Every structure is written in C-alpha cells, then in structure tokens.
Amino acid sequence: MRDKSTARDIPNQRVNHDLKKRPESLKSRTGTGSAVCRHEIHANGLWLAETHKKCSGIPVQSNIRVRMSKPTLKQTNDGDGMEIYTKLLSWAADQSIDLNGLSPQRIPGRGIGIVATRQLKKDEILLKIPTTALRTLDTVSKPLTRSLPLENLSVQGILAVDLALTVSPPEKHGPWNAVMPTRKEVWSGLPITWDSALHDFLPRPARDLLSKQQSKFERDWEVVLSTQASRPDLFSPELSRDDYLYAWLLVNTRSFYYDISTKTGTKLQKKRRKTLSRDDKMVLMPVADLFNHSDSGCGVGFDDSGFTVTADRAYEEGEEVYVCYGRHSNDFLLVEYGFVPRPRVAGRTGNAWDEVKIDDAILGELSVKRNSKRRRALLEERGYLGNYILDATTGEACYRTQVALRAMNPRFSETKWTEFVDNGVDEGDETQREEVQKDADRLLARILRRYLRNVNKSVSDVEETKDVGEQGQRDLLCLRWRQIRDVITTSIDSLSIQDDTEPDKEMAGGAYDVPKFISGYTQQQEQRKVKKEEEKKPKR
C-alpha cells in the first residue's frame, strides 16, 4: 500500500462484481501494461525509480472547486501499447474522474508515468477521483462478504479475492484492468515471488520485511483456501495460490490509504469501518495508480467526496509528475514495490528517507566484548538493543547507536552510561564530552571498517550466481548493496577520525557473522592493492 501517511496513504476500494470466472485481464497476461510497483520498470528488467527531495502532503479542502480540462494522451503509434491508456482515459471520464493537465505517457527505460501536458501551477488540483469510482471494502460483492470470515482476513486479502474473481461487464472495469501489470511483470519485480535462493542475498532489513509479508499472505491464503473448500460455488474456476498471490500483490502495490467516513453507508458498513486498523484503511483508485514514486511529490488528500492530487510546485510541459509512496527506506521499497531508487548524485541512495541498519555490525562487535552479556542486558533493559541506523544522506549514526557505542566502551562506566541514557548528554565539561564523543567515533569507525571489509569481498557471490533468478533481480540486489556500501563509506569519512592505532584486545578477535554482498573496495584496500602492484614492477 502506498505509504501509511502520504501519497499511497489511501486504502483500496472496490466495486460490485459477479463471481463466475476471472477476467482475462487478471490472468497471467503477457501483453503490454504498466509496470508493477509504481510502474518503475527498467528497460533491462531492473526496477528503478527517479527521486527528488522530501515527501509532502497538501491537505485538500472540500470546498475547492476547479474546472478540469479534458484528459489527453499523446500517442506515438498504434503499436506502442498506449492505446489501452487512451481507452482508460475515456473510461475514466465516464466515471467522473477529472484529470487536469496530465496524461499517462511512456517514459524511456522506465515504463509508464504521468506527465504534464501543459504548464502546471503550484497548488493546482491535478486529479479528482470521486468515491463512486473507488474499489473499497464496501464495493466487494455481497455473496463474497457474506461467505468470507472478514474478522480473520485483512482488507488487502478481501480486496484480492474480489479482484481475482472479478467478472463485471467489460465497461465496468475492463479499461482499468487492462493497464494492470501482467503476472510476468509482478513475478519479475517483487522479491516474494523470486527464487527463494535469492532471498539469502537480501539485506537483513529487507529479509525481515519479506518474512512479515510472507506471513501476512499465508494467513490470508489459508482463510481463502478454507472458504473455497466450503463454498466452491463462489470460486469457479478454482482459485489457485498463484492466482491469489497475483491479485494480492496487485492490491499491495497499487492501493492507497483512505480513511473512509463512518458517517455514511449502512449500519454494517459503519460498524466495519470503525474496527479497521490503519493498515486496513485501503482503497484502489483508477488513474492515480499510474503515478510513479519520488521521495517528494504532489500533495494528496481525501474527504467524503473523493481523492485529490494537488501540484506541490510548478511543472513545465513534458515534465513527469510524481507522488510519494511514503517515507520509506530503499529496503522497504524493494520488498513492497519491487524497485530501488537510482541515485542522481554519486554516493547517494536516491531517497531522502533511506537509511542503513547496522545491527549486524554493532551487535556482532558487542558479542566479542568483555562483559558482553552485561552490556547487552543493559541495552535490552533500557530498550536500546538493536535498530541501529545510519542516515543515508549524511551517514550520521542515530542516537540509539551512540547509546550502544558508550555501552561498549571499556572506559565508560555504567554510571556514566546511565546518565547519558537519562539525559542525552555526557557528563563533564565540554572538553570531557568531546573526548567521550571521539572515543565513540573511533569505535564506530573501527566497527564500520571491519563490517565493510567483511562484506566487500562477498559481492562477487551475487555477481557469480548466474543460475539463480533473473539477471535484473541480481542486478537489483547488487544496486542495493552498493548503496549500503556507499552510506557506510560516507559515515566512516564523516567521522573524521584517523584511527591508525592498533585495535585493543577486545577488538582483536572480533570475527562475527555479517551479511554478504556489498561490493567495492575501501580506500585502505585500494591503497594496499596499488602498493602491491608497484612492488611487482621491475626496478630501473
């Protein structure tokens, strides 16, 4: 679902359907369609996204009224696959969807995006979708809602069943279904569908997210499978696991957060809405799901009348217009949407909200320290065990990391550590506090160098794995690990501590398990390599 707090911050809505057979457009198609996961498909099959700065959300006033222009679509030729978007816009107009100064267009190397067809002004309303055009929990077919144990099934799971079994007349949702990503595109882009052998190559945060996603899907599928066994008349033809997973992932990647009013609808609908968790307040919206992601983008808003996209700034004709799926790390975007933003600037991750977890490095170092059990217990007692973060933009370590570094410092007493945790400031005068911070910086730099050395040599394992998964999937993994490497290198450089001393005894033995697959050389490794090459040259 598009973020839980911004653009994709709007849940999925559905319309009523028959339950006889699945439409051809939602089966395993191979025809042209927009790429899954915000439609950011690279020409070589690698899922990428361009990004800007920060995520913004401009609330929409219900009393705003703007005259909307007729949507247009620039086509190059009938054979480029864009005709399905022409039909979509015509269908959208019939649904009272207003698209103002925007058009879906093919973006070279990245699939479909929304582009300005004229100059756009800041705060101009660009898209208005009435609630009648949304697919929601309320629009799921009645026979289905009566048969499914709704209390045991996520809203995503319910919408996925409805989507998988949809056979409404072609004019109902046919043009919308036609631009959905194909099953082949979904299977290529999302890690949950990859060869399980590739899962071991994911960064640990991504693996943890994937594990939660898999558990959520399996819970939903178990309920659906049980219902299918008891009500086979509703599932004709039979819904396979892959059929359901495909629909479940379409909902996951194309839904928006939407807090549906509890003041309208039937008593049952009002009661059901009040019990929804934040994650279950989701809807599906036509046209809006064609926007690509950026870490900054147009404002989104909703009220009882519908959903609105508002320009966050002025746009020139031909410029792509984005929304933000949320303030998410690249690991999250990879698992949930199947793409990793490509950096615009060397050494950056292409996402202002990205972060790098270094739990493996910090906890690995903690495990080889003297009194490690006591130090670990202290961190756990105060709620500071794990979740150690480097900011992807600055390379700075978070406060939790600073707490852990002081817990590992043999010259830092437990009393001083407790005071730092309680007050957020080291005791003593400015000079003393600076010395404490230098100790922490030295230790962190040392830990990160070791972490980097251990993982640098392992990227070749991904590069040499030719018989597992697709090349685009392996390239995507390498891209993410290189981003992590760059953030760690930036952090080491920013510490500005030239630690040329020999490691202390506690540091000397510190072999610990870390994830593999970060490529590249540290500066020291490169210098040693150059020195060896120089020594091999014949002397004159």
Q: In the chain, where are the structural domains located?
A: 24-341, 355-529
For residue 490, which of 522, 517, 459, 458 has the smallest C-alpha distance? 522
Long-range contacts of 369-375 (CB under 8 A, 24+ apart): 369/408, 369/410, 369/506, 370/410, 370/506, 375/407, 375/408
Which tokens hold the place of 41?
């498909």
Per-residue confidence at 31, pLDDT binned at 50, 70, 90? very low
What pLDDT is attached to residue 35? 31
What residues pair up with 292 in beta bridges, in sequence order? Answer: 322
What pLDDT is attached to residue 304? 83
What pLDDT is attached to residue 158? 92
Residue 49 has pLDDT above 80, yes or no: no
Residue 269 has pLDDT above 70, yes or no: no
- Describe the strand order of the beta sheet including 102-107 as a list of residue ranges: 98-99, 125-130, 306-310, 292-303, 320-323, 111-116, 102-107
- Please give the Cα distance from 68 to 117 (Å, whole number): 13
Which tokens hold the place of 364?
């690995």
The residue-averaged pLDDT of 341-359 equals 80
Mean pLDDT of the chain: 77
What pLDDT is attached to residue 288? 93
Per-residue confidence at 328, pLDDT binned at 50, 70, 90? very high
What pLDDT is attached to residue 66? 26
Distance (Å) of CA 45 to CA 195, 338, 479:
16, 11, 13
Which tokens hold the place of 366?
């903690």
Q: How far apart are the first and last CA of the chain?
A: 66
For residue 456, which of 426, 489, 423 has the smallest C-alpha distance? 489
The residue-averaged pLDDT of 224-232 equals 93
The residue-averaged pLDDT of 345-361 equals 83
What pLDDT is attached to residue 261? 56
Return the residue matching tokens 């150059």: 530
Within its chain, how far is the Cα of 497 from the centroid? 34
Per-residue confidence at 266, pLDDT binned at 50, 70, 90? low
What pLDDT is attached to residue 515? 38
Which tokens hold the place of 251?
């909902």
Q: Enumerate the H helices of 328-412 as residue ranges.
A: 330-337, 359-367, 372-381, 399-408
Q: Would you report the helix, strand and coil content of the chain in percent, each value rounded to 5?
A: 45, 10, 40
Q: Which residues contact 24 (CB under 8 A, 6 or more apart)?
A: none
**HEC letters along 182-248:** CHHHHHHHCHHHCCHHHHCCCCHHHHHHHHHHHHHHHHHHHHHHHHHHHCHHHCCCCCCHHHHHHHH
Question: Which range is most confident: 21-25, 135-139, 486-490?
Answer: 486-490
Q: Which residue has the higher pLDDT, 345 or 462?
A: 462
Q: How buried is residue 70: exposed, middle or buried, by Cβ count under 10 Å (0-12/13-18/19+)?
A: exposed
Tell me whether strands 320-323 and 292-303 are parallel, antiparallel or unpaired.
parallel
For residue 289, which of 117, 462, 16, 38 has the smallest C-alpha distance? 38
Per-residue confidence at 319, pLDDT binned at 50, 70, 90? very high
Long-range contacts of 204-210 (CB under 8 A, 24+ apart): 204/357, 204/359, 204/360, 204/515, 205/329, 205/331, 205/357, 206/331, 206/332, 206/334, 206/335, 206/480, 209/331, 209/332, 209/335, 209/336, 210/335
Q: How buried is residue 411: exposed, middle or buried, by Cβ count under 10 Å (0-12/13-18/19+)?
A: exposed
For residue 36, which of 170, 147, 183 has the smallest C-alpha distance? 183
pLDDT digits (tens, 9 = 90+) for 79-134: 567 899 999 999 999 999 999 999 999 888 778 999 999 999 999 999 999 999 99
What pLDDT is attached to residue 349? 65
Number of residues that this document lists for the chain? 540
Residue 209 has pLDDT above 90, yes or no: yes
Q: Given this structure, which CATH class describes domain 24-341?
A: alpha beta
